[in-house]
Each structure stands twice: as C-alpha cells, then as structure tokens.
Structure 1
Amino acid sequence: MDYVTRKQSLSLEVNEDARDAFQELKDCEKLVIQIKKYRKKRSLDANAYYWVLITKLARRLELSNPEMHNMCLERYGQLEIMENKAVFVTIPDTEEAENKVRNAMDYHLQSTSQVRQGVDGLLYRTYRLLRGSHTYNSEEMARLISGLIIMCKDAQIPDSEIATPEEKRLLKERYGVDV
C-alpha cells in the first residue's frame, strides 16, 4: 500500500506463459483486472453426456434437440449477468417469435409473464437472457445435468438408459451428481 496515493500494489503468479499478453497490453495506460474464485472448468465428458441425455429426452417427448436444450436451460440454466444485473430482452409476443426462441441455438431466453404494448401498438414479451451451457464451469454444469436427469426420470426413461454404473460412479466422483 502506498500511503500517500492510497493505491495498492498486487503481485500475481500465473499458470500459463503470459508474455504475449504482456506485450499486447504493456503500452495501455490502464487495465481492468478481474479477480474471482477459481472454479474447475467442466469436462468434455460432462458435455457429451449432457447431449446424449438431451437426445434421449427429446426423442421421448417428440421435440427437437435445440428445443429440449432450451427447456433444460430455462429450468436449470444460468442467467447472463452484466454489471451485476440480469439481462432482459423484449420480443414480439407472437407464436412465430416464441417458436424461434424455443428452437434457437445462438441465444437462450427464459420467458417472463411481463407483456407490454409497444409504441407501434404490438405486444412485446420480456425474456431473461441465459448463458449458453458452453460457458458453464463444473458446478454449473453439474446443476444442469442433475436437472436434466430429473426431467429424464419424470419422462420415465429407465435408469439404465440414463447412466451405466460406471457413468454413475464418474458423475458422482467428478461432479457430485447423483443419478
């Protein structure tokens, strides 16, 4: 701490070679550095397992994989947060717009009950913007998979189709997910 300027100095140890990043940023007058709790990244195994279950459940419910994925994200997904606030969007409150949202893969939205009339006289529904599951850490992915497993069981997909004994052991060991 510099007691005259009241500024603090911070020393960092990095796990990767940061020389290229330093070269790119060295002439910047100011930088923004975010410090947050370390969370283990989710594994590709968890992602692959998630999509196997999405496919099984979508077939059982006669839905498309994107529609099933969005339903799962609506129930168990993570909100997009900017400046510590959830992000909202408004979309025409039509069946066509709702179908597009339901099958979207480039964005994920969670419907709210809020509908307002626009200056153009049309009705607009407010949606919460959800993060794509590809951004999830292992804890968030575990919550998503746990929710998907509940949905599979509710759809009466047999436990033997949800996970093999080895998959159950790995899910419990790596992510704390009970099948």
Structure 2
Amino acid sequence: MKMIGNPRTIIKWLFEQDENKKFEIKELKPKQSLTANAYYWALLNKLANVLRFDNQKLHFMMLQRYGQYEVVSVLSSIDVRGYFRYYEPIGHGVINNKEFTHYKVYKGSSEMNSKEFSILLDGLVSECNEQSIATLTKSEREQLHFIEGCD
C-alpha cells in the first residue's frame, strides 16, 4: 500500500493501522519531467552535432558548467571510477602520512531536482543559442513540466 500526504494525514492514517505492521516513510520530492529531460537530450545531441563533439563528453561539460557538485577526498590509492560517474580531480593532500585526492563529484541530471535541472537546461539553451540552434522560449520550456503534471 502507498500513502501520500502531509504529516498530519499520514500520522492519522498510521494510528489506524495494525501496530504489528512496519512502515517506511520517505519525503516525496518532485522529479524532473521526462519531457524536459527528453528536450535536454535532443538539444544536447543537436549541439554535439554542430560542435562535432561526443554527446556524453558534452553532457559532462554541461554538468561542469551548470550542474551541482560536492567535493570529496578519497585515499589516492583508491580508483574512484567504480564509485562516481561524473567527477574530476581538483587537488591532492596529505593527512596522517596518507595521500588523498580531492574530487569534484557532479550530480547526474537524473538525480537533480526540478530547480537544479532547470538551471542545467537553461545553460544548455544558452549554449545552443550561441550556435544559432533553435530552442523553445523560457515560457515554452516551463510548459514541458505541465505536460506530465510535474511541479
């Protein structure tokens, strides 16, 4: 069974349930619209074709320019390729005679919330406009979310 509601509604509902049952509660966060995501990738492919660039490398460049990241430090002896998808080394340090590599680890577009994804999409649109690639207006892009009832 799936229960969605505000805290008061959920608490009331929980008190009506069998006390021997266990429940998991998580915050419901809005996800990006699949339509907006499809538009992002269509634009990215157009820009990659104009620039004659690999679209995955271009996607990483867009994440570097417009995406969210965290800085993490990992023992330099550890190969992080299996742990992070989008990352870049930014420095080294030594703590207690152990060498660490510092990385910027970027959030993938599928992990972004609507606001973060909107910033990424706006950045891509700006880059497309610089290359004279036709794009939707800001108002038209905002309508992409309503098509799937997102936000």
Interval containing the TM-score (normalised by the shorter chain): 0.5 to 0.7
Partner of 1:157: 132
Q: Deviations over 1:106-156 (max 9, x none)?
A: 7111442x2569x9xxxx8632111111011111110000011122223x1
1:108 paired with 2:86, answer yes
Structure 1: any 5+ residue segments left out of the alignment? 1-10, 81-85
Which of residues 34, 42, 63 in structure 2 aligns to 1:44?
34
Partner of 2:72: 87
Structure 1 residue 46, shift from structure 2 partner: 0.7
Structure 1 residue 62, shift from structure 2 partner: 1.7
* 1:1-179 matched pairs, under 5 angstroms: 12-14=8-10, 23=21, 25=22, 39-80=29-70, 86-89=71-74, 107-112=85-90, 114-115=91-92, 126-154=102-130, 156-158=131-133, 160=134, 162-163=135-136, 168-173=138-143
Sequence identity percentage? 30
What is the distance in 1 between the residues matched to 2:40 and 2:89? 23
**3-state SS of paired residue (2:9):** coil
Q: Count how many residue pairs are aligned between Structure 1 and Structure 2.
A: 130
Alpha carbons of structure 1 residues 12 and 46: separation in structure 2 relative to 1, 3 Å: same
What is the distance in 2 between the residues matched to 1:79 and 1:39? 19
Pick 1 or 2: higher relative contact order, CA cutoff 8 A, min separation 6: 2
**3-state SS of paired residue (1:42):** coil
Name the amino acid aligned to 2:72.
V
Please give the TM-score of this superposition, normalised by the length of structure 1. Answer: 0.54
Is the 2:68–2:107 contact (alpha carbons within 8 Å) kept by the matching residues of 1? Answer: yes
